[in-house]
């Protein structure tokens, strides 16, 4: 499917010179985690390119979940957008997918596949923690290792990694997820400098909350969950302080997957997609001891929670309508 020579003009003779020249401009894009959310919107956005510059290979672990992607792609499905099976947690699956592409040639890799994990850390089994790291960190590393040698050999390529604002600032009750994203940030910061020598660029997107069905379901599910191994105070803090605040933040400050997708068109190395988080990160770097940001998060979560309840509706009003677009949209 991915070596369709007639589609990409990779044959000579019967194809006109113009077609062959246009084929050289087509970029092969491999995107992971495309069954929903950010990955789906990135895939469709590139497939909809008016100049048809992209051959999009949208991958997901379970092809039974491709219906939303196929519907969103419409007539572009099997024209500029193709779907393939890929499990980022499997070496064999990654190799099979890459090997199915003509000459293993990938111009752009977008690492989007990821999972979340929320809750009191003492209640989370180690296998669940390992699963988060296997998907969020090792999954991205596995794909980068597979495509990087060819990009370096060609002295051309772009790698985009969907990280998180939690890869820059840890958040209570998201410790494991944040740790997986911190690992990803460190890995990419080290690798980016090396890849510049080969004309390969690496970028990270660091979104805050995103309006996706997955994230809201995850938070809602936590409200009903029991925590028998956790002390009552921690359960109270999580259930009655953290969760209500998280829901408010998602509803008020959350971006859409389309907002995030647009940033991939011309990304820097770091891309904090929501500028409303800049002051929070500034606290971290304003005090080299780290005490300022820790105390600030403590106050926001515990001692200032009543004030936050009042402030959130005000912030919602300020970010409503055109002001919301102006302050939150990456453009």
**What distance in Å separates the CA atoms of residue 93 and residue 95, rounded to the nearest whole number?**
6
- Does 43 count as an annotated binding residue? yes
Q: Residue ranges of the domains in the chain?
A: 5-212+255-275
**What distance in Å separates the CA atoms of residue 284 and residue 292, rounded to the nearest whole number?**
7
Smallest CA-to-CA distance from 278 within 242, 320, 230, 330 is with 330
- Does 39 count as an annotated binding residue? yes
pLDDT of 1: 44
Kind and range of the H or E run holding 109: strand 108-111
pLDDT tens by residue, the chain, 331 residues: 444 433 333 333 444 444 444 556 899 999 999 999 999 999 999 999 999 999 999 999 999 999 999 999 999 999 999 999 999 999 999 999 999 999 999 999 999 999 999 999 999 999 999 999 999 999 999 999 999 999 999 999 999 999 999 999 999 999 999 999 999 999 999 999 999 999 999 999 999 988 876 676 777 778 778 888 899 999 998 988 888 888 878 877 889 999 999 999 889 999 999 888 888 888 888 888 989 888 888 887 777 655 555 555 555 554 444 334 443 333 4
Query: Which amino acids are annotated catalytic?
Result: 177
219 near 243, Cβ under 8 Å? yes
- Does 89 count as an annotated binding residue? no
- Does 14 count as an annotated binding residue? no
pLDDT of 282: 86
- Does 144 count as an annotated binding residue? no
Pick among 3.40.50.720, 3.40.50.10490, 3.20.20.100, 3.30.1490.190: CATH of 5-212+255-275: 3.40.50.720
Give the global pTM.
0.85
Report DSSP letters for 289-328, one per residue. Answer: TSHHHHHHHHIIIIITHHHHHHHHHHHHHHTSHHHHHHHH
- Does 44 count as an annotated binding residue? yes
pLDDT of 281: 86
């Amino acid at each position: 499917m991915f070596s369709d020579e007639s589609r990409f003009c990779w044959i000579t003779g019967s194809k006109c010179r113009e077609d062959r020249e246009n084929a050289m401009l087509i970029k092969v894009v491999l995107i992971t985690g495309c069954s929903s959310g950010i990955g789906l919107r990135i895939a469709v956005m590139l497939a909809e390119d008016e100049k048809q510059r992209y051959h999009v290979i949208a991958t997901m672990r379970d092809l039974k979940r491709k219906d939303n992607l196929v519907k969103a792609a419409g007539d572009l499905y099997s024209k500029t957008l193709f779907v393939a099976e890929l499990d980022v947690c499997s070496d064999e699956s990654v190799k099979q997918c890459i090997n199915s592409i003509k000459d293993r040639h990938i111009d752009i890799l977008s690492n989007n596949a990821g999972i979340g994990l929320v809750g009191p850390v003492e209640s989370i089994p180690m296998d669940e923690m390992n699963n988060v790291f296997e998907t969020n960190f090792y999954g991205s590393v596995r794909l980068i290792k597979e495509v990087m040698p060819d990009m370096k050999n060609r002295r051309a390529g772009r790698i985009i990694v969907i990280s998180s604002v939690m890869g820059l600032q840890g958040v209570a009750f998201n410790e494991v997820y944040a740790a997986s994203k911190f690992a990803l940030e460190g890995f990419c910061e080290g690798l980016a400098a090396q890849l510049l020598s080969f004309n390969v660029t690496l970028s990270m997107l660091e979104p805050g909350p995103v309006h996706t069905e997955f994230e809201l379901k995850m938070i809602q599910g936590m409200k009903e969950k029991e925590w028998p191994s956790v002390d009552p105070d921690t359960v109270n803090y999580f259930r009655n302080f953290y969760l209500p605040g998280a829901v408010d933040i998602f509803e008020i400050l959350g971006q859409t997957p389309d907002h995030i997708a647009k940033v991939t068109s011309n990304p820097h190395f770091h891309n904090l997609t929501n500028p409303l988080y800049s002051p929070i990160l500034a606290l971290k770097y304003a005090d080299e001891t780290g005490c300022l940001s820790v105390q600030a998060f403590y106050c926001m979560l515990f001692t200032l929670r009543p004030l936050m309840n009042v402030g959130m509706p005000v912030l919602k009003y300020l970010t409503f309508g055109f002001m919301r677009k102006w302050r939150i949209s990456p453009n």
